[in-house]
């Protein structure tokens, strides 16, 4: 039995962490995230935690090294065991946050699909950047460089450029959730949609 891959995407502040928790009781499931806690992912998290930005080239190199290791050691073995793998972010986030343009974003996705599996189900928490920034600030956090309004706007545009490409979305069940609603409503709607998609696949 082949497993299935569910990826959750969205700009910072869209509610991904809460949704991952809501998916916590899926049967035969494994929950993971990117960047990982491996050596490459740890280096990225430490830099982001300090509010630092590496060069785009350095970030992409670390992210892709982390992802290759993640696919080899975690995702592919779990799928081979027939598990449902739920991943908080994947190469779509790389396209959105490290892409230089909408075409570069699509190119990043194409390149990553050469070694990382396409998701069976892709959940996108759609939240306008102004709402996302308000949520980040409501948590009492000072927005970091990746969480600035300008960055969130650019990331949202790059996400949309990928969703609009039929070849990149081929074979993927795409679920767009309006994340402006209260988080409990958003997570409940997303959970119902994911359950339905997994039953059909």
Please enumerate, by residue number, every residue annotated as part of a binding site.
10-17
Residue that has been written with the tokens 């343009």 in this structure = 101
Q: Give dist(CA 201, CA 187) in Å, integer.
A: 21
Binding residues for ATP: 10-17
Give, as one character, the DSSP assignment of residue 147.
G
Q: How many angstroms separate the Cα of 27 from the Cα of each of 30, 73, 144, 158?
A: 9, 21, 36, 33
Q: Cα(first)–Cα(last) distance of the chain, in Å?
A: 13
Give the Cβ contact number of residue 104 at 10 Å: 14
Report residue 131 CA to chain centroid gap.
18
């Amino acid at each position: 039995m082949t497993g299935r891959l569910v990826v959750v995407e969205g700009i910072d502040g869209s509610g991904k962490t809460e949704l991952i928790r809501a998916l916590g009781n899926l049967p035969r499931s494994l929950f993971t995230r990117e960047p990982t806690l491996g050596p490459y992912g740890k280096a990225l998290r430490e830099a982001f935690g300090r509010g630092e930005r590496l060069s785009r080239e350095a970030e992409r190199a670390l992210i892709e090294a982390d992802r290759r290791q993640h696919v080899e050691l975690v995702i592919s073995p779990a799928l081979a065991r027939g598990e449902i793998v739920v991943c908080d972010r994947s190469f779509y986030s790389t396209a959105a946050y490290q892409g230089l343009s909408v075409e570069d974003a699509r190119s990043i996705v194409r390149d990553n699909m050469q070694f990382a599996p396409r998701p069976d189900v892709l959940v996108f928490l759609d939240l306008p950047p102004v709402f996302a920034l308000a949520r980040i600030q409501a948590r009492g956090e000072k927005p970091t460089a990746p969480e600035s309004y300008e960055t969130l706007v650019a990331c949202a545009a790059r996400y949309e450029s990928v969703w609009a490409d039929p070849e990149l979305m081929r074979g993927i069940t795409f679920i767009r959730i309006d994340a402006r609603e209260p988080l409990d409503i958003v997570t409940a709607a997303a959970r119902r949609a994911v359950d339905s998609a997994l039953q059909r696949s």
